[in-house]
Structures are given as C-alpha cells and as structure tokens.
C-alpha cells in the first residue's frame, strides 16, 4: 500500500490526477499554511496564444499564517464570470466541452465560502466524469515525518517548478489539443484541458502517464 500526500488544488494539473490514479491512498492536506502562487488557488489552461493562468482571489487571513482549510474565497474582481468566460472561450471548440459544460457552469454561479471546499467539490466532479475512484482522506494535522510507503508531494506539484525535474515518475503523454497546430502540445495543463479534449479517454491518458506503469 502506497500513500501520497497532496495539497488541495483548483482544477489541478494532469500530473496531480495521475497521482490519484496510481496511488493506493491519497491524503489531501488541509492543515498546511496557505501560500499564494500555487495550484491551491490557480490553474493553467490553453488559449489560442498559449497558456492562461486563472487565479481565485482569496481573503487576506488575519496574521501571517492561516491553514488552508480556513482560507475564504474573495468576491473581488468578478472572478467567477472572468474564469468561466476564459474557460468557455478556450474550450468551446473542443470535442467534449458541450458535453461537460453544464457540469462545470454551476461552480461559476454559486458562491462558495471556503477555497478547500470549492476545490474538493470540483475534484470530486472531475473524478466522477473520468470514472476515477481514488481512495481520498483528509489530513487531521500537518505531518512532518513519513513512514515507508508514504510519499510527500505537497510542494512538488507546483506552477513554479519544472514537473520534469520535480516529478520524474510522471511522463506527460501527448493528446489532441485544439491549438496544438499553432502552439504545439502543451503538457501538464489543468485536468479540464485533458477532459474537454479527450472526454472518456482521459483515464487512458492518465494511466499511461505514470513511469511506474511503463
């Protein structure tokens, strides 16, 4: 039995979902100190001119540190409208956007208080759509030491780290992307890039994307 520890993430990248596919147990951290410019509140999608980062604004916590589970989403900047417009514009011509859009749209219409709850409901939706059933639990405290068979990936899947160096067991598998003739294949984008382009075949791509399975 192998257990992986991950942070909560907003529409996490493909490598994150490859972990959900291949580890026996997944522990999602909720007691880590929240930090900005991570996948906790940010995802990356493919636009016609290249990658687009979408960031959820959060309310500034009291004090310098705040656990992820207590981070509140801000209504600043009409972000829900902007994110949904960006997603719709980027993926309107993909093979499966029409099929899945009604599943995602409510997340950009309903107000959520806490970022962790929002991220997790989106993750559960994505898992159900790609027929993925990970064994997920949530941390009860912040763990510093790990036993054999436990892997700490909480800060390794990160937008500012090269996934090829930080996560060599993940092998990005090329798949059809709408803008690939213009921009080439863009690896390890948000899981919605894979889902909207490949639909039910997304799970096959995830299965092939793990070096342990090669």
Could you read off the pLDDT of 149-181 as tens digits, one per residue? 999 999 999 999 999 999 999 999 999 999 999
Burial 125-147 (b: 16+ CB within 10 A, else e): bbbebbebebeeeebeeebeeee
Are the CB atoms for 52 and 90 separated by under 8 Å?
yes
- pLDDT (0 to 100) of residue 210: 75
What's this model's pTM, rounded to 2 decimal places?
0.95
Among candidate residues 179, 168, 214, 209, the one with its CA nearest the CA of residue 191:
209
Alpha helix (H) ranges present in 107-162? 115-129
Among candidate residues 196, 199, 201, 161, the one with its CA nearest the CA of residue 178:
196
Q: How far apart are CA 92 and CA 19, in angstroms?
A: 28
């Amino acid at each position: 039995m192998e257990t992986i520890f991950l942070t909560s993430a907003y529409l996490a990248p493909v490598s994150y979902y490859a972990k959900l596919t291949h580890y026996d147990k997944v522990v999602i951290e909720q007691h880590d100190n929240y930090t900005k410019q991570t996948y906790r509140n940010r995802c990356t999608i493919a636009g016609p001119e290249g990658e687009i980062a979408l960031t959820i604004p959060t309310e500034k916590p009291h004090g310098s540190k705040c656990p992820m589970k207590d981070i509140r989403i801000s209504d600043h900047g009409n972000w829900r409208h902007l994110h949904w417009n960006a997603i719709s514009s980027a993926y309107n011509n993909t093979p499966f956007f029409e099929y899945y859009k009604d599943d995602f749209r409510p997340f950009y219409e309903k107000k959520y208080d806490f970022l962790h709850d929002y991220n997790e409901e989106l993750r559960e939706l994505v898992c159900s759509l790609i027929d993925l059933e990970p064994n997920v639990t949530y941390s009860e405290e912040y763990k510093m030491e790990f036993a054999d068979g436990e892997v700490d990936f909480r800060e390794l899947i990160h937008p500012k780290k090269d996934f090829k160096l930080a996560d060599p067991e993940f092998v990005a598998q090329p798949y059809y992307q709408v803008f690939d003739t213009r921009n080439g294949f863009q690896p390890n984008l948000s899981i919605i890039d894979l889902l909207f382009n490949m639909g039910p075949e997304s799970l096959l791509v995830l299965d092939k994307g793990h070096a342990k399975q090669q």
